[in-house]
Amino acid sequence: MYYRKLSEFERERYELALWRVREIAEGGADALFAPDFFRGEAVFLLKSEKLRADIEAGKDRDWTLPQLEERNQLLYEEILPEHYESCYGNPAYAAAVFKEAGSSMSVLYDELRGAVVCAFENRPFDLLILMELFLGCCSLFEEAAEDHGGKPAVPPAAGVRSLIYWYLCDYCQDLTEQRVSETLDPSFSFARDRILSEDLSDPRYLYRFGEYITENERKTAEYLASLPREEIDAIARTWVRGYRTGFLVEKKDLSKKKTVNIRYRLGFERVIRSAILQFREMGLESILYRSAIHIQDKSPHGRIGWYGAVPNRQYEFDHANDRALWLDEHFVTGSLAAKRIAYENEKEAAAVHGGPACMDVFGEVPFTPAANDKVPRLTAAQEQLFARYQTESGYIVNRYIRGEERSFTIIAYPVPEIGENFEAIFKETVRINNLDSERYQNIQQYLIDALDQGESVRVLGRDGNETDLTIRLHHLEDPEHQTNFENCVADVNIPVGEVFTSPVLAGTNGVLHVKEVYLGEFGYHDLKIRLIDGMVSDYGCANFSSEEENRKFIETNILYHHASVPIGEFAIGTNTTAYRMAHDYRIADRLPILIAEKMGPHFAFGDTCYSFQEDMAVFNPDGKEIIARDNERSILRKSAPEKAYFGCHTDVTIPYEELGSITVIRPDGSGIRLLENGRFVLPGTEVLNGPLEGIGLL
């Protein structure tokens, strides 16, 4: 099944829109202000429709690799860094041309970019509404010219903004239902069909997904094509086994589930094909949905789904808060209502959905965005609205895909951009992802036994790291049968190597400082976050010259538009083998948080690890129940649910070389030292220091 076909009336609208777009492309833009914008977008939409028709007819199946590479480059060249200064997708350039209407015109440009994906996936309804949005903008400029005696003019900024606003309102229900369906219904099979049917030894297959392709995707696919099938199957098996183990460890019934969502980056199709087949053996059909193409569905915190290369990370950063143009109470209320209806329509599919299996990548050069004062910015009121939307949206999803019944797994592998040692690092990552879980479980139990003797933990930095944090722990009423820390090995969260808890907020105070850290797509310099009674009270970094820009950067990407969030997790990473890999290959700044969090103590800001699942009993392998599943904010789900969750969980790790000490503080004030000067000193854990030998920590 593919996307909806057009009704007879919609087909008539489609033909009329095509005729009018063609007219604009062939001279109808000459009387408009900035005719190059309108002519360029009209030509782009016409090329997208021709591309859709050609792909539907199979005309590109015999294209050579150079032809496919050229087409891919032409589809994305406008937004590439080398062309970005004079691209209408750049809010600064759009503002220079369209003045006050510039930010809205740049957002419209970004929305029209989705026509490429619509062509590849044969989504005529989406192409129709994009063409009509474009033509609506043309009409606004035509009216502005009439109002100025036939002289080209820019309409009022409010008019362009209103056009986008009502476009989103008019199609909110249609697009929300479509998005929810493709995330739950396995018959939306565009990517799965290609992965299972294409010749994955022929690199041309990469260009049939409609995503931007770089050396990362090409060389990854080439490298995986060189590996024997047994090795590919083993890589997939580690991932699939982790998914199954998550259900077993959490005592959830996998037999109730029929689908799993696979999220990954293009280039790994041989592994994904093997995983699809292994999941089928478990009774699960794989759902693969593309990261969102419509602005109403996009996340400000990165791509969710499957995706190709990001053509320009500055472009994506500049459009992360486009919703500032339309976000208001009416839109939020309507969006939430649309989501409720969409999930109700798909409630049977939601009930049998098992959750995501995510394959992250790492190795790209860290990105520090440039400040752009022309990008849309959420007001304080909009930030509160968006936070409310995220919270209530989470409740809706959890009502239909119940947290106590679903699970997940996540794993990560490098891409060739990591450097000339790519293949060696890939093999080392495979080894790290398969470390002996039982061995780590036993070592980590020593840490947990010591931690459970304390009422708090103190973490200190060293050598310029200003961290000084006291983390308050829950009181254990029955220490023989209860624990505060989860013994985390390689199940849902691969690789092995951490013990973690949800701290008590009251009494958790101090400052967290990291000299350099890479979170998601962004690098942070000299990051500091201060806590008072477990809530973020102040923060800053040195990314930008302006303190205001630095605070806004943290608020947007770490706090997710909240003025303050609680500390949701305190953990101690134990994977010194991963740390050694990072040191030897000098890739610490390239590792994903999935691996980095295992390489030292880390702290998560936002919700706890047990959000929406706090009432489900969780046990460690030794049989003790983990009672630290709530904090003073999450417990509000029972009395004031709108205050309980924050829709974020952002991990920040202190690397071993910046760590002075971690000490458990007993009720009588005495201490148990766990780590000192970056090394494990608790009896029973010293073996973890082995991989650290010879690298300046011991």
Q: Do 209 and 347 share a domain, yes or no? A: yes
Residue 377 located in a structural domain: yes
For the residues 682-692, what does the mean pLDDT come to? 94
Q: Over range 547-572, report the average pLDDT.
A: 91
Mean pLDDT to the nearest integer, 64-68: 96
pLDDT in tens, 75-116: 999 999 999 999 999 999 999 999 999 999 999 999 999 999
Q: In what order do the strands lie in the sheet with 259-263?
A: 285-287, 259-263, 353-362, 409-414
Question: Looking at the domain assignment, is residue 424 inside a domain?
Answer: no
The residue-averaged pLDDT of 390-403 equals 91
Confidence of residue 597 (pLDDT cuts 50, 70, 90): confident
Residue 646 pLDDT grade (very low, low, confident, very high; cuts 50, 70, 90): confident
3-state helix, strand, coil in the chain (%, to 5): 50, 15, 35
C-alpha distance from residue 524 to each of 315, 318, 349, 551 (Å): 19, 17, 40, 12
Where helices occur in 99-202 by DSSP H, the ranges are 102-112, 115-120, 124-147, 157-184, 190-197
Whether 244 maps to a domain, the answer reads: yes
Q: What is the mean pLDDT of residues 477-502?
A: 90
Token pair, residue 471, equals 């983390």
340: tokens are 């409720």
Instruction: Note the pLDDT of residue 557.
Output: 87
pLDDT value of residue 611: 86
The mean pLDDT of the chain is 93
| Residue 228, domain extent | 190-400
CA distances from 56 to 53, 69, 123 (A): 5, 19, 11
Same domain, 264 and 171: no
Q: What is the pLDDT of residues 211-228, one digit of tens each?
A: 999 999 999 999 999 999
Whole-structure pTM value: 0.90
Co-location of 598 and 515 in the same domain: yes
Question: Of 147, 178, 209, which marks where a domain is finished?
Answer: 178
| 532-548 mean pLDDT | 94
Same-domain pairing of 443 and 570: yes
Position 4 pLDDT exceeds 90? no
CA distances from 57 to 12, 51, 61, 72 (A): 21, 10, 9, 19
Which among 611, 505, 629 has a CA at the least distance from the CA of 567? 505
| Structural domain includes residue 419 | no
Residue that terminates a domain, selected from 178, 200, 228: 178
Count of beta carbons in the 10 Å neighbourhood of residue 12: 11
Least confident interval from 262-266, 302-306, 413-417:
302-306
Domains in the chain, number: 3
Whether residue 362 is contained in a domain is answered as yes
Q: Give the per-residue pLDDT at 40.
A: 96
Whole-number pLDDT of residue 696? 60
Q: What is the mean pLDDT of residues 315-336?
A: 95
Q: Is the pLDDT of residue 697 over 60?
A: no
Q: How many residues does the chain have?
A: 698
129 found inside a domain? yes
Helix residue spans in 452-535 (DSSP H): none
Count the neighbouring beta carbons within 10 Å of the beta carbon of residue 378.
21
Sheet of 504-519, strand order: 535-540, 522-532, 504-519, 468-472, 456-461, 659-665, 671-676, 679-680
Phi, psi angles (nearest 5°) of residue 357: -115, 110
Residues 210 and 323 in one domain: yes
Does residue 698 have a pLDDT over 50?
Answer: no
Burial class for 449, CB neighbours closer than 10 Å (0-12, 13-18, 19+): middle
- When comparing pLDDT for 88 and 618, which is higher? 88
Q: Are residues 212 and 161 in the same domain?
A: no
Do 149 and 239 belong to one domain?
Answer: no
Question: Is the same domain home to 476 and 376?
Answer: no
Residue 413 lies in a domain: no
Instruction: Identify the weakest region by mean pLDDT among 235-249, 280-294, 608-622.
Output: 608-622
Residue 1 reports pLDDT greater than 70 = no
The 10s digit of each residue's pLDDT in 414-430 is 999 999 999 999 999 99
Closest CA to 421 of 269, 309, 266, 584: 584
What mean pLDDT do residues 632-658 have? 89
249 shares a domain with 166: no
pLDDT, tens digit, 9 for 90 and up, residues 11-36? 999 999 999 999 999 988 888 999 99
Average pLDDT over residues 678-696: 90
- Give the CA dihedral 605, 611, 615, 619, nearest 10 degrees: -70
Q: Is the pLDDT reported for residue 514 higher than 80? A: yes
Is pLDDT above 60 for 584?
A: yes
The mean per-residue pLDDT over the stretch 320-334 comes to 94
The answer to whether residues 452 and 321 belong to one domain is no
pLDDT band (50, 70, 90) for residue 254: very high
Question: 252 and 218 share a domain?
Answer: yes
**154 domain-assigned:** yes
- Tell me: do 118 and 218 sit in the same domain: no
The mean per-residue pLDDT over the stretch 569-588 comes to 93
* Domain C-terminal end among 384, 400, 416: 400
Mean pLDDT value across residues 385-396 = 90
